[in-house]
Amino acid sequence: MKTKVGFIGLGIMGKPMAKNLIKAGFTLVVHNRSRTAVDELVKLGATAAGSPREVASSVDTIITMLPNSPDVESVALGEKGIKEGAARGQLFLDMSTINPIVSQKIARELEPLGVVMVDAPVSGGEKGAIEGTLSIMVGGRSQDFERALPIFNVLGKTITHMGPLGAGGFTKLANQIIVAINLTAIGEALVFGTKAGVDPQKMIRALAGGLAGSKCLDQKSEKILTGDFAPGFKIDLHFKDLNLIHEAARSVGVPIPTAAFVEQLFAALRIRGRGGLDHSGVITLFEDLAGVQVRRGDQAGGPDAKERQS
């Protein structure tokens, strides 16, 4: 019999992850602040719960997929939280991206109750969540990693046990440094080339085949060329992660000058009301500065590139 799983947090990432677990035959109990996502999962066979406490009181394994450290801490330790419904022997998998120091604090509070915590943040965006191909970075004891593996195998393709609790979170934050800087570099480079008269579609094709090629370029080029920045991962959320990186880096004594600079670029985007765009939308800031759009299709590149209206 498959483990009975509680899933808390049915947002852009959490909802498709929960759907994949249902498809794989897991019995799910779900909770979310917005009722719409809960109702959608109930139609697929899940059971609704009114609080994290209610989730914890009826499952073997609990998964959280929430926006930030305070959200996870509140759900785990707050009023009507997991702690109030916890039972000895439960496994708590936090798959959110939060401060690893907070993960370690939550684990210490749950340990006397017999609840074991694993931090297992993911990378791969909405597409990876839908397709079940996420990269999952896991921190926790080896035996707890093995116990969680049947669940991880449904949700991800690259699953790595990074070390003790917190190692997953630190690895995910490292991932977010690379992605933020990469997307920023891609945006700057494509605007540079477009302003100089180069066709951005051809430029992307050429760059993708060389050392500058990356998954960011592969997965985000279509959004950039079509100008469709509907979020797979919002600028707001990546800005949150950059703040977490700043906090975590300070806690371990590591300077992060490049990530700090990119954090300020993302802050500027949010001030301009673009926090809801996909994080590849960082290119729009460079378009503003250069007075040109990386135009798509027939308008791409060259002297016909559309000038951004001031």
**Type and span of the H or E element at 93:** strand 91-94
Distance CA 60, CA 84 (A): 15
Q: Catalytic annotation on 172?
A: yes
- Separation in Å, CA 130 to CA 16, 42, 56, 209, 283: 5, 18, 25, 27, 25
**Type and span of the H or E element at 283:** helix 283-290
Distance of CA 157 to the CA centre of its chain: 15
Task: State the residue for tokens 């019999």.
Answer: 1
Neighbours of 199 (CB within 10 A): 16
Q: Which of 19, 172, 220, 240 is catalytic?
A: 172
Task: State the residue for tokens 């609840």.
Answer: 115
Helix axes 14-23, 142-155, angle to 10 degrees: 90
* Residues known to be catalytic: 172
